[in-house]
Structure 1
Amino acid sequence: MDPNPPKSWSIHTRQEIIAKYQILEHVGSGAYSDVYRGRRLSDGLTVALKEVHDYQSAFREIEALQILRGSPNVVLLHEYFWREDEDAVLVLEFLPSDLEAVIRDAKRERDGGGGSPPAGEIKRWMLQVLDGVDACHRNLIVHRDLKPGNLLVSEEGVLKIADFGQARILLDDGNVAPDYEPESFEDRSSEQADILQRPDTVEADTECPDGHNSQEQGAITREAYLREVDEFKAKNPRREIDKETSLFDGDTSCLATCTTSDIEEDPFKGSYAYEAEEAREDAQGSLTSCVGTRWFRAPELLYGSTDYGLEVDLWSLGCIFAELLTLEPLFPGISDIDQLSRIFNVLGNLSEEVWPGCTELPDYKTISFCKIENPVGLESCLRNHSSDEVSLVRRLLCYDPAVRATAMELLQDKYFIEEPLPVPISELRVPRSKNSHDEDSPGGWHDYNDMDSDSDFEDFGPLKYTPTSTGFSIQFP
């Protein structure tokens, strides 16, 4: 018997689904979805059937994946089933592994004396991630939960971004109307159904001379891309288009009450399901700060900002790339406050000097840290790595979001065109599955139990409370 049975077996009784798919096994579950491996009866294609128990999450994922359809480094949505009073079921391409498993296997090999992954392999993984993020950002889609476990990998080594349940579209680009809503299974036209069900995809290993995948869909110039982002920030600092799906969140943030978020799942839970903390918006459709997985969460989110954009994904990229290089998490915080402390210990304190305007962040004046006189710096965290590798990570891990390098810019970085060159995708070493490690192997970096500590204060010494005109301020050592 499955030790972790799915929350709902309704997918097995839905005639429109079982008429087209054989459900083979339950492969993962989380707070808002169950995922099954299935087989399409018409041609035997293996697929993932994702049963989403939350309307808002399903809405966002379908919308984003329809826009990004054809992007080689974004998971393919074959079709979806949506009936009134029923959970949405998304039929996705089945990808057996992910970047988390790649890192875990490389760490095991290194610790066993096999050495670190070759630079050419790391570059190819990075380029695939950048191509996927670039496709999202060209369409002004912010993913909001980039992490190794959401970067799925095919048997052939093709990496694809998945789990768009927290994604938001920051600007209507003409392809999605403000009042867009996924059509029910019954209402879809035959033409739309044919488009979604078509198994053909863009070849993912078609490469340009400069070494990365071609992204023709939604291609725009760098200037136009940056101009659109700037115009959006100026005109719509707090607006998003799917206001009708908003849930009340008030003015709260992860740190406003000085407690860690209590709705987060273990970020590397071993399942195909793409679960993470649900993103909830206020009644006006404003963004929330409680999104993403803590280790990869940008400082503006940790300080409660609801006025952010694509740049939060870029910070996550910096954390992912650092982990690819070292095979260790860069900022493995056990609480939101501990997360900030770890960031400051490496990069130094947050101030107006390094990020003009940071003092206006919602929680900046509520929580303060002692001055870090000698931050360790990224070079110390990336020992034995080249200056180009350190520079790549540094361009992403900037306090000021406006200074972070875009995916488009990094794709042109000299790091990727200098020796050793990125290896072909066919030469990448790919784990058989997400859970291919030995059951009796000792715990690694991902086996920690304090992700959701009950209190942010447990691991700190005496705290300094200072009354203010609006309440109090807490200073951490």
Structure 2
Amino acid sequence: MDPPSKSWSIYSRPEITQRYEILEQIGSGAYSDVYKARRRSDDLIVALKEVHDYQSAFREIEALQILQNSPNIIVLHEYFWREEEDAVLVLEYLRTDLASVIRGAKRNWENGISIGEIKRWMIQILHGIDACHRNAIVHRDLKPLNLLISSDGVLKLADFGQSRILLEPGFFAVEDHPDGQNTLDQTWPPHQPEFVREAENSCMEGSQNQGQTTTIKIESSREVSELKAKDEADKESNFQDGNTSCFATCTTSDMDEDPFKGSYSYDEGGEDMSGALTSCVGTRWFRAPELLYGSTSYGQEIDLWSLGCIFAELFNLEPLFPGTSDIDQLSRIINVLGNITEETWQGCSRLPDYGKITFTKIENSLSLEACLPNRSSDEFHIVKRLVCYDPGSRATAMELLNDRYFNEEPLPVPVNELRLPSTNIGPDESSPGVWCDYKDMDSDSDFDEFGKVDISSSGTGFSIRFS
């Protein structure tokens, strides 16, 4: 088998090829490539994830080592990492993901996903999140594509390249294993990763907002230039890396069909060794409002917001907030949950970008109930406990696991009764809908998408108004 030119390095590393037969490439992104492989010693099928970014590899290995005994976290069998070479993670192979389940249900299952199945999926996700949060790990990129599923229905959290350990236990210095392989009871990278301090924590992007005029207040003409310059930089730097999130499910033909291509998963990597966080993480459709407003002091609550969006999608088989840019994302959230003020979210005015972006006041918001038609009050209640402005008001994973909803009829089905798609299911390009609408979006231009931009002077500087 001739190795692809893009990923020649994994084929030239004898410590890997002597132990594993590389079968095929099953995923590719800006920061990693993933291969299906067979372990020569016992014929076990695994996924080899070659990570090209030092920081992402460091974080994923560290998190998976901590979580290695958690049943709803993907298994890291071993890893290979020498200085001057990419890390290669040997992960368990899981054939599908929750995104494929949702698409399969929408297309092929007459009554969608049954309540008993939804409850079992939710319980498994909650156990995985609880394991992360009990170990002070925030995942920071929860979405259906990162919830992988085995052939027997076991769901596992995957893709920890953007995760952070909030307690910052420190980094370990190690010596390389003689054959370049590290086992899980050893410490690993030979030196700490180099962090680049981010020059700008805010990643706010703009988009046309349906039925609403958006005003962004800019304090000086310099900020106007910076926004435009940043917008151009975003076009070059915000690569979609979601194809490797479902590394065990993608085929080469699937790589161009990622329905989340328009929702951008990215991490600008601007965090420093002091533990400061960046707001530019995660996938837009599942990003908490505090991140959209540039927060760098968030916690595990951002995962809980993402969880609420995932649960809503399980109920409706459609994304809850499919924004085309960060400003459009905020607009969609506000149109449902109402205006963001100190009355609705105490402390919101202290968020870094709160004073820069203002929306026309919404008189009558849609409400979450309108977004969850034909769902029970208990189902709505579960989502409402997660999708709320105040991070401190979001229910924890353990609190939700104890909710009476999971102990009432219909009860969660056994794991082995969960229905799975026979093949990995991509978006349906033959019919209109959100998957097609955002599939081909390849830029996130604040100014181009809004059309006409009026810049006028004000008492404090300039005001930019989109109409």
Per the normalisation by structure 2, the TM-score is 0.83
Shift of 1:115: 1.6
Deviation track 1:236-276 (CA, whole Å, cap 9, x = no partner) reads xxxxxx98642221233102837664433457648734993
Which residue is 1:387 aligned to? 377
Q: Which of 239, 247, 254 is residue 196 of structure 2 equivalent to?
A: 247
Q: Is 2:401 the counterpart of 1:408?
A: no
Task: Report if aligned partners of 1:335, 1:452 keep a CA contact under 8 Å in 2.
Answer: no
Residues 259-298 of structure 1 mapped to structure 2, 5 A cutoff: 261-262=234-235, 263-266=237-240, 269=243, 272-273=246-247, 276-283=265-272, 284-298=274-288
Residues 219-234 of structure 1 mapped to structure 2, 5 A cutoff: none
Which residue is 2:61 aligned to? 62
Q: Which of 113, 129, 132 is residue 133 of structure 1 equivalent to?
A: 129
User: Kindly tell me: are residues 292 and 104 of structure 1, through their superposed partners in 2, closer, same or farther at Cα, counting changes over 3 Å?
Assistant: same
Higher relative contact order (CA 8 A, sep 6+): 2
Which residue is 1:78 aligned to? 77
* Cα separation, 2, equivalents of 1:332 and 1:144: 18
* Cα separation, 2, equivalents of 1:327 and 1:154: 21
Which stretches in structure 2 are left out of the alignment for 5+ residues? 205-225, 249-263
Q: Which of 347, 362, 366 is residue 356 of structure 2 equivalent to?
A: 366
* Cα separation, 2, equivalents of 1:365 and 1:194: 47
Q: SS state of the match for residue 9, structure 1?
A: helix
Residues 419-458 of structure 1 mapped to structure 2, 5 A cutoff: 419-433=409-423, 435-436=424-425, 442=431, 445-447=434-436, 448-449=438-439, 451-458=441-448
Shift of 1:95: 0.4
Residues 131-280 of structure 1 mapped to structure 2, 5 A cutoff: 131-172=127-168, 177-181=169-173, 184-186=176-178, 193=183, 195=185, 245-255=194-204, 257=227, 261-262=234-235, 263-266=237-240, 269=243, 272-273=246-247, 276-280=265-269
Q: Is 2:302 the counterpart of 1:312?
A: yes
User: Kindly tell me: are residues 413 and 350 of structure 1, through their superposed partners in 2, closer, same or farther at Cα, counting changes over 3 Å?
Assistant: same
Residues 314-393 of structure 1 mapped to structure 2, 5 A cutoff: 314-393=304-383
User: Kindly tell me: are residues 424 and 83 of structure 1, through their superposed partners in 2, closer, same or farther at Cα, counting changes over 3 Å?
Assistant: same
Residues 11-50 of structure 1 mapped to structure 2, 5 A cutoff: 11-50=10-49
Task: Report if aligned partners of 1:268, 1:446 keep a CA contact under 8 Å in 2.
Answer: no
* Cα separation, 1, equivalents of 2:284 and 2:373: 24
Shift of 1:109: 2.1
Shift of 1:124: 0.5
User: Kindly tell me: are residues 440 and 374 of structure 1, through their superposed partners in 2, closer, same or farther at Cα, counting changes over 3 Å?
Assistant: closer
User: Kindly tell me: are residues 437 and 169 of structure 1, through their superposed partners in 2, closer, same or farther at Cα, counting changes over 3 Å?
Assistant: closer
Deviation track 1:358-399 (CA, whole Å, cap 9, x = no partner) reads 011111111110011111000000000000111100100111
Which residue is 1:231 aligned to? none
Q: SS state of the match for residue 22, structure 1?
A: strand
* Cα separation, 2, equivalents of 1:470 and 1:246: 35
Shift of 1:446: 2.4
Task: Report if aligned partners of 1:6, 1:29 keep a CA contact under 8 Å in 2.
Answer: no
* Cα separation, 1, equivalents of 2:83 and 2:107: 47
Count of aligned pairs: 421
Task: Report if aligned partners of 1:145, 1:293 keep a CA contact under 8 Å in 2.
Answer: yes
Q: Is 2:111 the counterpart of 1:115?
A: yes
User: Kindly tell me: are residues 400 and 182 of structure 1, through their superposed partners in 2, closer, same or farther at Cα, counting changes over 3 Å?
Assistant: farther
Identity of aligned residues (%): 61
Shift of 1:277: 1.2
Task: Report if aligned partners of 1:352, 1:359 keep a CA contact under 8 Å in 2.
Answer: yes
User: Kindly tell me: are residues 183 and 147 of structure 1, through their superposed partners in 2, closer, same or farther at Cα, counting changes over 3 Å?
Assistant: farther
Task: Report if aligned partners of 1:368, 1:475 keep a CA contact under 8 Å in 2.
Answer: no
* Cα separation, 2, equivalents of 1:294 and 1:118: 28
Q: Considering only aligned residues, what root-mean-square deviation do their CA atoms show, in Å?
A: 2.8
Which stretches in structure 1 are left out of the alignment for 5+ residues? 197-241
Q: SS state of the match for residue 434, structure 2?
A: coil
What amino acid sits opposite 1:408 in the alignment? M
User: Kindly tell me: are residues 39 and 346 of structure 1, through their superposed partners in 2, closer, same or farther at Cα, counting changes over 3 Å?
Assistant: same
* Cα separation, 1, equivalents of 2:39 and 2:460: 59
Task: Report if aligned partners of 1:97, 1:153 keep a CA contact under 8 Å in 2.
Answer: yes
Q: SS state of the match for residue 71, structure 1?
A: coil
Q: SS state of the match for residue 292, structure 1?
A: coil
Which residue is 2:213 aligned to? none
Shift of 1:151: 0.5
* Cα separation, 1, equivalents of 2:25 and 2:329: 34
